[in-house]
Amino acid sequence: MKRVLLVTDGLFHPPLLARKAFRDALAKVEGCSFSHISSLEKLPADLDSYAALVIYIHHKKISEAALAKLDAFVASGGGLLGLHTATASFKKEPQYFKILGGRFTGHGPVEQFSISPESGTDVFYDIPVFDVVDELYLHELQPDIEVHFTAVHKREKVPVVWTYSYGNGRVVYAGPGHTTETLKNQTYQKLLQQGLKWVINE
């Protein structure tokens, strides 16, 4: 049984019901047990006993100690799944974005857009094109991310879901997550479940 630590918090951004739908979707991944904390400041002393962290928060500040602990966890082989506001947190901490693979730069209105798989992925499978009603997050990106899903913004493809290696750790980031409807989308849930499996090396 692999231990997964969920770092989630919020009533409106991210929404409470969306966070519940997200937790319920991940709980269907076999072979995992889940614990929950509300802040990276509460990372446990036995963090190295966990296979992965899941970050779905929108927080402004992180202490040097918490950031160093996160860095060491992922670099030494821990998995990390970041959702939506994960890249919009801790904007003044460049090291945090080196870990995630991207930094939030802006978004448009809540609107419907299509999420399309890129060819050649070996992490996500049997995921068709699907639509969500959400915020399309835009990012400043690390050069060596691998993009798996895109959407169209101003007639250009932009990354929506990527994987990334940080040290010995595996990282997945998925952008949609502003609305509860999105987190209840079964295709998106399947994508997130596959992402978790990959970061825990299943």
pLDDT digits (tens, 9 = 90+) for 89-146: 999 999 999 999 999 999 989 999 999 999 767 899 999 999 999 999 999 999 999 9
- Residue 11: the pLDDT is 86
Q: Is the pLDDT of residue 152 over 80?
A: yes
Q: What is the pLDDT of residues 47-92, one digit of tens each?
A: 999 999 999 999 999 999 999 999 999 999 999 999 999 999 999 9
Distance, in Å, from the CA atom of 148 to the CA atom of 156, rounded to the nearest integer, reads: 15
Counting the structural domains of the chain, the total is 1
- Residue 120: the pLDDT is 66
- Domain of 37, CATH number, reads 3.40.50.880
- Residue 119: the pLDDT is 72
Distance, in Å, from the CA atom of 121 to the CA atom of 146, rounded to the nearest integer, reads: 9
Instruction: Supply the range of the domain harboring residue 126.
Output: 2-199
> What DSSP line would sit under 126-164, residue for residue?
S---EEEEE--EEEEE-TT-EEEEEEEETTEEEEEEEEE
- Residue 122: the pLDDT is 80
Q: What is the pLDDT of residues 153-200, one digit of tens each?
A: 999 999 999 999 999 999 999 999 999 999 999 999 999 999 999 999
